[in-house]
Amino acid sequence: MTIHLFRGITCAAVTMSLLSLGLASCQSTMSQPTVAAGKASLPPRGTTTELDETPEQRNERMKWWREAKFGMFIHWGVYSVPAGTYDGKQIAGIGEWIMNRAKIPCEVYQQYAKVFNPVKYDPDAWAALAHEAGMRYIVITSKHHDGFALFPTAASKWNVVDATPYGQDLIGPLSTAARNRGLHFGLYYSQAQDWNNPGGAAAGGHWDKLQDSKTMDEYIDAVAVPQVREILTRYQPAVLWWDTPKDMNPERAEKLRALLSLDPGVITNNRLGGGYKGDTETPEQRIPATGFVDRDWETCMTMNGTWGYKSYDQNWKSTEDLVRKLCDIVSKGGNFLLNVGPTSEGLIPEASVERLKEVGKWMKVNGEAIYATTASPFAKLDFGRCTKKVTDRGTTLYLLVFDWPKDGKLMLPGLRNKVATATLLATGASLSTHNSDAGVVVSVPAEMPDPIVTVVKVELIGALNITE
């Protein structure tokens, strides 16, 4: 509880003082201000969760997510039909924005649903792929900014059952398949922007008079609130991922926040709007330089240049790049939510499948250095990144080596602990170490065993002790 006193102080400073007390870092001890007494009617605004819970309850609620580290984001919807091309022209930018970017009239865009028929959709294959990649959770778009619901809904005809030849729920079967594979299942829901249900917000303003035929408050009451109630009660998602709080205000946001109690334990992000901070920070398409002070966080990122499927985007990140980004993120205490954009047939692009399988091969050998770890205790390392696990028995460091040392020595600057064991994680081969004035030095073989990222496991005696 004394951790509360540290709020507002930089994480690095707190980490060091906590570590010298033998406690875990900010990441695993983060907390929220206690809820002021006597304010029972209004939920606390601007706290981390907006839920009435103790810091211990919050830690319990966040536990699986903090340990999971790696998840699959799925952007799927009607935009996979045009797949980046409208009126014979390739439309620049992210594919799921094509309706907005090309100012496609509602009536025209809705025709795409008539050929959205994902007969090759195999939810168990998707869940199996996520599992094989080493991912521990899935978050899929239940409704993106185009307003199309991938689930049956009484609140709008603009949904997979009523508007497509496929005519069946897409969310329920994936929810079942994911859980059968031991994965946590989450839903993205675009609560503010909606370009087909009248009254929904639109970045850059409305371009079709249908969109102006209702107010945003009418849209919130008639579409967003009932649909969020439907998905929370029907699928009980482990995560509810809001996006782009355009034109949200406290009143609109509160109507949605109030529904969260329908799904105990749900984790939400910081994109609801109306002043709510949610549980997680969500840097998009970037990795923050130093992580976040006192906040859980998750980088979401595409494998090529688009979230929703574009037929001609072949700008794929390499497997090495993806694994190193995962290592970078986890070394800063965050999670990695990596996107796939399936086709309108229901297939995850082969380039994504290949890369995810390769990432999975690396994770199978090296996952111990990723799952349930906390942030690096070092400000900077010459060779790459580091994660750690702190237990009552001592501290384990996982050195994530990107740049193999030419002199055969990995330097852990300022580390004063005695080393119990140092090994190559992949093989268990022992490595020699010594304590120098500058810190601990680990001697490694001449050749880099795994050119993607080689992991060296270092078990330390006693509480972590780092002094410059």
CA–CA–CA angle 84, 85, 87 (5° rounding): 150
Residues paired with residue 454 on neighbouring β-strands, in sequence order: 401
Q: Which of 50, 243, 281, 313 is in the footprint of ligand H79 by CB under 6 A? A: 243
Helix 123-132 and helix 171-180, axial crossing angle in degrees, nearest 10: 40
104 binds ligand H79 (CB under 6 A): no
Q: Which is nearer to ligand H79, 75 or 257 (CB)?
A: 75
The CA distance from 450 to 468, in Å, is 31
As a 3-state breakdown, the chain gives helix, strand, coil percent values, each rounded to 5, of 30, 20, 45
The CA distance from 56 to 62, in Å, is 10
The CA distance from 44 to 142, in Å, is 28
Q: Which is nearer to ligand H79, 97 or 309 (CB)?
A: 97
Residue 300 φ/ψ, nearest 5 degrees = -105, 145
- Quick one: which segment of 95-103, 154-162, 341-349, 372-380 binds ligand H79 (CB under 6 A)? 95-103
Nearest to 241 by CA among 368, 104, 72: 72
Q: Which is nearer to ligand H79, 192 or 223 (CB)?
A: 192
94 binds ligand H79 (CB under 6 A): yes
336 binds ligand H79 (CB under 6 A): no
Q: Which of 9, 13, 108, 203 is in the footprint of ligand H79 by CB under 6 A? A: 203
204 binds ligand H79 (CB under 6 A): yes
Q: Which is nearer to ligand H79, 302 or 344 (CB)?
A: 302
The two tokens of residue 158 are: 């603009």
307 binds ligand H79 (CB under 6 A): yes
- Quick one: which segment of 24-32, 92-100, 399-407, 440-448 binds ligand H79 (CB under 6 A)? 92-100
Q: Which is nearer to ligand H79, 117 or 244 (CB)?
A: 244
Residues 150-179 that bind ligand H79 (CB under 6 A): none
Burial of 300 (0-12, 13-18, 19+ CB in 10 A): buried
97 binds ligand H79 (CB under 6 A): yes
The CA distance from 146 to 97, in Å, is 8
Residues 44-83 that bind ligand H79 (CB under 6 A): 75
The CA distance from 281 to 283, in Å, is 6
103 binds ligand H79 (CB under 6 A): no
Q: Which is nearer to ligand H79, 103 or 157 (CB)?
A: 103
The two tokens of residue 428 are: 């268990």
The two tokens of residue 87 are: 């009126």
208 binds ligand H79 (CB under 6 A): no
99 binds ligand H79 (CB under 6 A): no
Q: Which is nearer to ligand H79, 247 or 459 (CB)?
A: 247
Residues lying near ligand H79 in the complex (CB under 6 A) are found at: 75, 93-94, 96-97, 100, 203-204, 243-244, 284, 300, 307
